[in-house]
Amino acid sequence: MRLWPLNPDYRPAIALGITQIMGYGALYYAYAILLPEMADDLGLSLTAIFGILSLGLFFGGALAPLAGRWTDQFGGRLVMTVGSLVAGIALILLSFVTGPYGLFFAILLAEAAAMCVLYNVAFAAIARLDLRVPTQRSISIITLFGGVASTIFWPLTLWLYTRFGWEVSWVILGIATLLISVPLHYYGLRGPLRDLDAPKQAASVDWPELQGKARKRGMLWMVVSFLFSGYLIGAVMTLWVTNVQDLGHSAALAAIAGAVIGPFKTVGRFFEMVLSRNMYPLVTYILAMGLMLAGFVTLLVVGFTVPGIMLAAALYGMGDGIKTIARGTLPLALFGQRGYGARLGWISFLSMGVNASAPFVFAWLTQAFGGWWSFFAMTLCLIVAMATYALIPDPRRLHDDPAENRCLPDG
């Protein structure tokens, strides 16, 4: 019997997992190292340069619904291949910027491309392929790989900057994206697309969908919870090194602590995939937020010590790793596969529209009050996300309740 990684039905997930390492590493984690250094050379403050990043994230996120709709209609092969090509070019353009306008254009192009190559489109792409494995399992595999992006790219980007400077670092990251992501998206996503009108596969998990009033209420509170739990993610990606330094640690130690997040993302995702692979996504989501909160509490209490910052990174990493899976499986479980890509795209658009301000807001908090208070504000966001999570209806409990599941009349 062949080992499961050699099964052709797992190959698209493995290919997408590798491209997520490259995508998140170059299109998000590299900012944490290179943008503060670029600020000095471009004559910008930390708040200003992360404000430009926030604008790029906001306007780039406008492409997410369209990318999701294209993936629903045509599959993810073309969308992700073109997206990774544009991403590589945009990263190279970052090496040539000389002022705020050029920086904004390059980041806007990079983040628009990111909407076509990162998790949301990857999840929708794998759901559209006609594979003999459950979509939930493929999503877990994709995120299992993606968890090491920070482990690789924070130390790697710091080394590239130290060795070559930020201009050459962006060129190297852009070329790597072209050489790795473009062919993997083109060749890894070949194959027939799934017929959405066909009966569910026997291997699929048959979870009931929300209907009627419960469906609308579930969408509202899920999105609100995603907004608050996601608001701190971009800030952690871009400001972790700066904030940890403000707690009294060196840049090297801050990068090492950041690198710890990645392996523990993988630990959390491995736990979800192997030990509890049929865990209902609502349970997965609250488990993830609980671990993330434990990480932030540890950071606030003992983050000024080396063991404390390492433990905080580990707990946060496990929670964030599991949360990424829930971000893909929870909409699938609550609302079904039809329109899944477009749904993820709109959720991503709303998230990006709100969360784009996070780097600017938390950079201002860091500059005005210090890294500890910036981390404290992130903790409050997570607490609000957990409170709104409690308002999401559970379709397993409503499945036999005709009042909750009755469809509303059109209009």
- DSSP state string for 43-55: T--HHHHHHHHHH
405 domain residue, yes or no = no
pLDDT tens, per residue, the chain with 411 residues: 344 445 778 889 999 999 999 999 999 889 988 998 899 899 888 888 888 888 887 887 788 888 988 998 888 899 999 999 999 999 999 999 999 999 999 999 999 999 999 988 999 899 888 888 878 788 888 888 877 787 788 889 999 999 999 999 999 999 999 999 999 999 999 888 876 555 555 444 567 788 888 888 989 999 999 999 988 877 787 788 888 888 888 888 888 888 788 788 888 888 877 765 567 889 889 999 999 999 999 999 998 899 999 999 999 999 988 888 888 888 888 888 778 888 888 888 888 778 777 877 888 888 888 889 999 999 999 999 999 999 998 887 765 555 555 443 333
The count of residues in the chain is 411
Please say whether the dihedral angle defined by the alpha carbons of residues 309, 314, 315 and 316, taken in this order, is positive or negative. Answer: positive
Rounded to whole angstroms, what are the CA distances from 329 to 291, 307, 311, 408?
18, 34, 28, 25
d(CA 197, CA 41): 56
411 domain residue, yes or no = no
2 domain residue, yes or no = no
Q: What is Dmax (Cα atoms) for the chain? A: 65
215 domain residue, yes or no = yes
d(CA 21, CA 152): 8
Number of Cα atoms under 13 Å in the Cβ half of residue 26: 32
Give the pLDDT score at 89: 97
Rounded to the nearest 10 degrees, what angle do helices 30-42 and 212-246 cross at? Answer: 60
Count of domains for the chain: 1
Give the pLDDT score at 301: 93
Q: Which residue range(s) make up the domain with 20?
A: 7-193+205-397
Structure tokens at 125: 């792409």
d(CA 42, CA 100): 8
Burial class of residue 307 (count of CB atoms within 10 Å of its CB; 0-12, 13-18, 19+): exposed
403 domain residue, yes or no = no
- Asked whether 387 and 208 are in contact (CB, 8 A), the reply is no
- Say which CATH number the domain at 134 has: 1.20.1250.20
Question: What pTM did the predictor assign?
Answer: 0.77
Q: Name the strand (E) or helix (H) holding 396.
A: helix 395-398
* Closest alpha carbon to 258 in 333, 152, 110, 160: 152
Q: Residue 129 pairs with which residues in a beta bridge?
A: 193
316 domain residue, yes or no = yes
409 domain residue, yes or no = no
Give the pLDDT score at 250: 85
∠ Cα 248 250 254 (to 5°): 95
